[in-house]
Amino acid sequence: MNFTRRTALALSTLALASASMLTPGQAEMLDVEKDELKFGFIKLTDMAPLAIAYEKGYFEDEGLFVTLEPQANWKVLLDRVITGELDGAHMLAGQPLAATIGFGTKAHIVTPFSMDLNGNGITVSNEVWELMKPHLEKGPDGKPVHPIKADALKKVVDGFKAQGRPFNMGMVFPVSTHNYELRYWLASGGIHPGYYSPSDVSGQIGADALLSVTPPPQMPATLEAGTIDGYCVGEPWNQAAVFKGIGVPVITDYEIWKNNPEKVFGLTKEFTEENPNTTLALTKALIRAAKWLDENDNANRAEAVEILARSEYVGADAEVIANSMTGTFEYEKGDKRAVPDFNVFYRYYATYPYYSDAVWYLTQMRRWGQIPEAKSDEWFHETAKSVYLPDIYLKAARMLVDEGHVAEADFPWDTDGYRAPTPAADIIDGIAYDGKAPNDYLDSLTIGLKGEEVVGG
Amino acid sequence: MANATDTAPIALSGREKVFSVISKASGWLDALGFSWLVPILRMIAGDSPRAQLAELKRVLLVPLLGILAFLLAWGVLAPKVETSLGAVPGPVEVWEQAGNLWDDHTREREKAAAFYERQDQRNEKLVAAGKEPKFRTYTGKPTYLDQIVTSLLTVGLGFGIATLIAVPLGIGSGLSKTFNGAINPLIQIFKPVSPLAWLPIVTMIISATYATPYDWMPKSLLISAVTVTLCSMWPTLINTALGVASVDKDLMNVGRVLQLPTSRTITRVVLPSALPLIFTGLRLSLGVGWMVLIAAEMLAQNPGLGKFVWDEFQNGSSQSLAKIMVAVLTIGIIGFMLDRLMFALQRAFTFSANR
């Protein structure tokens, strides 16, 4: 499926034209089983679909009365969804998968809706940046050539080792996208990020860089205090480091793996079974919010930034949020570059819960020892299918198309749930990813567990 | 003419009456922190201005000067400290944010009103279509004022539970040396424990035992309240025990001579004598409870002022520090008012020693 930006634009203008001719029909509201819902989120810009669905009245249109509640950290958020204090939440894509296979708290969590693509960055402290700089290739304008590979960091880490200093980095959660992206990037430069084992869940077995958990909003403060030398986190916390002059973002995840899946909307399996109509209704509201965020080539992003900057949502300064949301990303102070797809909420079928996304997370869990034993390809596919529920998503999308809110062309109606393999050119270490063959993919990676290998210790 | 001579003494006694009312009220005004009103009232009533002005200087001007000096020092020193969130806000910025919070509050209330309007329109349609109308409460964010009310309710509940537990236990341990010996080590062990240590335990136990919360008593409220109870009951307990143990022996003997049953002894003899100390304990407890509550709310992410502070800290915007300072001042002022309230209650319920 070669879906370029231009066709997306053409299609969206077409959709708009048709939408303006057709006034959306007053649809029969779904008979929701539970209409007062509480959803949790973490203060990150990619919670935007939730804020928009609330502020633009999409939840209310579906007959849902939603309370949005910021949570202290990912673990609290997941636990509260499991205990039923929250009906659903903005989750890391790895969380439903890890909970379902029993890494951490065991509970069957499912997702009918992928929230966004990309949106993370890796930031290092000013000191590390100064040490990295001599090893970077410079362009004709004197600025570093992007993407910056971890090879430059390897020299710094080796230098730390020689002095007997540990090299610490922060990530937001053991099963977070950030953890896997940071590990991927480090490993692609030959820095070992450490293994997990059933008896040692620190994830630092044999590590060159010691990774530990810090909640996203505290990343800049922890970096400033010198507890960590760098981190991988979602926005606005990379741009915040630039604004405060305490660190330098070196790479965005868009450059590590183009258009990678990031957050999902997680619910317990029980909830979806007991409240099928509610699940459909909330999926509909979220799809409409995602569309609003991306329509007319991001025309609504400025308003979205204003909404997200309110203290009840992300609460950071509007200009910090605006940086990435409006398609630019500032690396070193003054080095602003255009990254139009830094935050994608709707384009490229971003909201469809692809099995291949789930499989990639599972391969990374296996790669770093969170899944201690080898698993068959079937197991990967089965697990993905028990967590990702595209059927609910397509049903919701079909209703929205019938109501005239979205265009037919916005959804991959005929997909088997696997994206076309990501070509080698779109991934930083040039290793292609095909979701249909997880074990072959694991074998093709350099650092990491393969085949029957287990972590000793 | 006769009328005039008749009215003069009445007018005089009227004036005296006014003064005696002022004198009576002055105790209450003192207790509530309005002692500066007394000289003003006296001047209005026609007392000699000189003496009253000297008094006014002591109780109003000097404290105001102190506050002014603090504000000046704050305003001068604050901009000199640069944090990663910008310079430390001075009094002006903080005042601005207080205004912002008020605007937020009114905006949120307008949004709520709009929501109810939409709901009414929907319900009209539903009724017209012959269906049941649906009434739901608005689900916006709690505003700053809502958070203050939540915190006050929580501390009230926690303090209420603490009083109900601590006063009977205190009376028991004051009356009986055996009982005192039994619970004394427990008091000594639990008294220094921080709220932050109680919180996880309380959370686990309440989550397990209070599985189906009532609407009027959410789990989070109960968890914060019980944490407040565990931290704030000790001063009441210790002071009650002390007050009861130090009741005048003569009074106790009178009770014995009259062969009063224990219950009557407690209500007629022990409690009235011990009340001043019990109230001292309660005042201390309420102070501790209010202080502890903020920490508990912060850690447990339960609604209230503590959560407001934590959320603002997490937001890390250029206004966050000023908003947190607004919260700090609010917490301080409310704590002061609560203390004054207890002091007023103490005055109302206790007999002075010479009675």
Q: Which domains does chain A have, with CATH numbers?
A: 36-118+260-353+389-419 (3.40.190.10), 121-256 (3.40.190.10)
- Work out the average pLDDT over A135-162: 92
Q: Which of A60, A224, A316 sits opposite B315 (nearest CB)?
A: A316
Give the range with max mean pLDDT: B53-62, B103-112, B297-306: B103-112
Exposed/middle/buried for B110, CB within 10 Å: 0-12, 13-18, 19+?
Answer: exposed
Residue A16 has pLDDT above 50, yes or no: no
**Rounded to whole angstroms, how far apart are CA atoms A23 and A403?**
9
B311 to chain A: which residues are within 8 Å by CB?
A: 70, 311, 315
B314 closest CB neighbour out of A35, A67, A217: A217
Interface of B with A in 280-339 (CB under 8 A): 301, 310-312, 314-318, 320, 323
**Sequence letter at residue A3:** F
CB contact under 8 A, B141 and A312: yes
**pLDDT over 60 at A81, yes or no:** yes
Alpha helices by DSSP H, A343-437: 355-367, 377-387, 390-403
Q: What is the pLDDT of residue B167?
A: 93
Whole-number Cα distances in Å, B2 to B5, B6, B8, B14: 5, 6, 10, 19
Asked if B320's CB is within 8 angstroms of A65's CB, the reply is no
End-to-end CA distance of chain A: 45
Is B7 touching A (CB cutoff 8 A)? no
The answer to whether residue A442 scores a pLDDT higher than 80 is yes
Angle at A208 between CA A148 and CA A122, to 5 degrees: 35
Over residues B317-321, mean pLDDT: 86
- Percent of chain A with pLDDT strictly greater than 70: 94
Contact present, A265 and A88 (Cβ < 8 Å):
yes
Q: Which residue has the tokens 């869990």?
A: A365
C-beta atoms of B139 and A67 within 8 A: yes
User: What per-residue confidence (pLDDT) applies to B260?
Assistant: 87
pLDDT over 70 for what percent of chain B? 95
Q: Are A228 and A42 in contact (CB under 8 A)?
A: no
The predicted-structure confidence for A99-146, as pLDDT tens digits, reads as follows: 999 998 899 999 999 999 999 999 999 999 999 999 999 989 889 999
Backbone φ and ψ of B83, nearest 5°: -105, 180
Please give the Cα distance from B224 to B333 (Å, whole number): 21
| Residues of chain A contacting B, Cβ within 8 Å | 35-36, 43, 60, 65-68, 70-72, 76, 83, 85, 217-218, 220-221, 224, 240, 244-246, 309, 311-312, 314-317, 320
Q: Provide mean pLDDT across the span A52-65.
A: 94
pLDDT digits (tens, 9 = 90+) for B13-39: 777 888 888 888 887 787 777 888 888
**Sorting pLDDT into bands at 50, 70 and 90, what band is B352?**
low
* CA–CA separation, A347 and A212 (whole Å): 33
Domains, chain B: 2-80 (no CATH), 144-354 (1.10.3720.10)
Number of Cβ atoms within 10 Å of the Cβ of A19: 16
* Residue B247: burial class (beta carbons within 10 Å; 0-12, 13-18, 19+): buried
Residues in A touching B115 (Cβ below 8 Å): 60
Task: Give me the pLDDT at residue A18, please.
Answer: 45
Quick check: A50 and A22 in contact, CB under 8 A? Answer: no
pLDDT at B86: 76
Average of per-residue pLDDT across B261-282? 88
Between A220-229, B94-103, B271-280, the lowest mean confidence (pLDDT) is in: B271-280
Average pLDDT over every residue of A81-92:
94
DSSP state of A445: -
What is the CA angle B104-B107-B112, rounded to 5? Answer: 125
Angle at A187 between CA A440 and CA A245, to 5 degrees: 140
Give, in degrees to the nearest 5, the angle at Cα A120 between B321 and A196. 105
Query: In whole angstroms, what separates CA B59 from the centre of its chain?
Result: 23
Angle, CA B34 vertex, CA B32 and CA B38 arms, to 5°: 125
User: Which pLDDT belongs to residue B4?
Assistant: 47
Determine whether the interchain pair B85/A244 forms a contact, defined as Cβ–Cβ distance below 8 Å.
yes
Q: Which residues of B touch A315 (CB under 8 A)?
A: 311-312, 314-317, 320
Q: Using a CB-CB distance cutoff of 8 angstroms, which residues of chain B are in contact with residue A68?
A: 141
Taking Cα atoms as reference points, which of B247, B30, B205, B301 lies closest to residue A69? B301
Distance CA(A50)–CA(A314), nearest Å, equals 12
Higher pLDDT, B295 or A56: A56
Task: Report the distance separating Cα B216 and Cα A428, nearest Å.
Answer: 54
Q: What percent of chain B has pLDDT over 90?
A: 37
Q: Is the pLDDT of residue B53 over 90?
A: no
- Flag whether pLDDT at A457 surpasses 80: no
Model confidence at B105: pLDDT above 50: yes
- A109 vs A78: CA distance, rounded Å: 9
B164 CA to chain A: closest CA distance, Å?
A: 30
**Residue A74 confidence (pLDDT):** 92
CB contact under 8 A, B315 and A224: no
User: What residues form DSSP beta bridges with A264?
Assistant: A91, A114
**Average pLDDT of span B239-258:** 89
| A27 confidence band (pLDDT: 50, 70, 90) | low
For position B109, what pLDDT does the model report?
93
pLDDT at B71: 94
Token pair for B93:
């910025």
B41: nearest Cα among B62, B17, B23, B63: B23
Question: Considering only CB atoms, which chain B residues are within 8 Å of A43?
Answer: 314-315
Check CB contact under 8 Å for A315 and B118.
no
Give dist(CA B294, CA B202) in Å, integer: 16
CA dist B93 and B116 (Å) reads 35
Under an 8 A CB cutoff, do A71 and B301 touch? Answer: yes
Look at residue A355 in the predicted model and tell me its pLDDT.
Answer: 96
Give residue B347's pLDDT. Answer: 82
**Cβ of B188 under 8 Å from any chain A Cβ?**
no
pLDDT tens sequence across A216-239: 888 998 999 999 999 999 989 999
Mutual angle of helices A301-308 and A276-298, in 10-degree steps: 120
HSE on the CB side for B137, CA within 13 Å? Answer: 8
Structure confidence at residue A7 (pLDDT):
52
Q: Which residues contact A13 (CB under 8 A, 6 or more apart)?
A: none
Total count of residues recorded for chain A: 457
pLDDT reported for residue A28: 66
Whether residue B5 is predicted with pLDDT greater than 60 in this model: the reply is: no
Binary contact (A311, B104; C-beta < 8 A): yes
Higher pLDDT, B28 or B152: B152
Does residue A11 have a pLDDT over 80? Answer: no
B195 min Cα distance to partner chain A (Å): 18
What is the distance in angstroms between the Cα of A114 and the nearest Cα belonging to chain B? 25
* Residues of chain A found within 8 Å of residue B218, distances taken between Cβ atoms: none
Q: Identify the burial level of A403 via C-beta atoms within 10 angstroms of its C-beta, where 0-12 means exposed, 13-18 middle and 19 or more buried.
A: middle
Q: Are A283 and A396 in contact (CB under 8 A)?
A: yes
- Contact assessment for residue A82 and residue A108, using Cβ atoms and an 8 Å cutoff: no
- Selected for mutation to probe chain A from B97, B132, B139, B207 (highest A CB count within 10 Å) is B139
Chain A residue with CA closest to B310: the answer is: A72
Lowest mean pLDDT among A227-231, A290-294, A394-398, B43-47: B43-47
pTM of the model: 0.79
pLDDT at B2: 46
Residues 6+ apart with CB under 8 A from B320: A315, B85, B312, B313
What is the overall mean pLDDT for chain A? Answer: 91
> What is the percent of chain A where pLDDT is above 90?
80
Q: How far is CA B336 from CA A101, A258, B225, B288, B295, in A?
A: 53, 57, 20, 12, 18
Q: What distance in Å separates the CA atoms of residue A76 and residue A92, rounded to the nearest whole number?
A: 13
**Termini Cα distance of chain B:** 46
Q: Could you tell me which chain B residue has the CA closest to the CA of A51? A: B140
Per-chain mean pLDDT for chain B: 86
CA angle at residue B158 from B153 to B163, to 5 degrees? 125
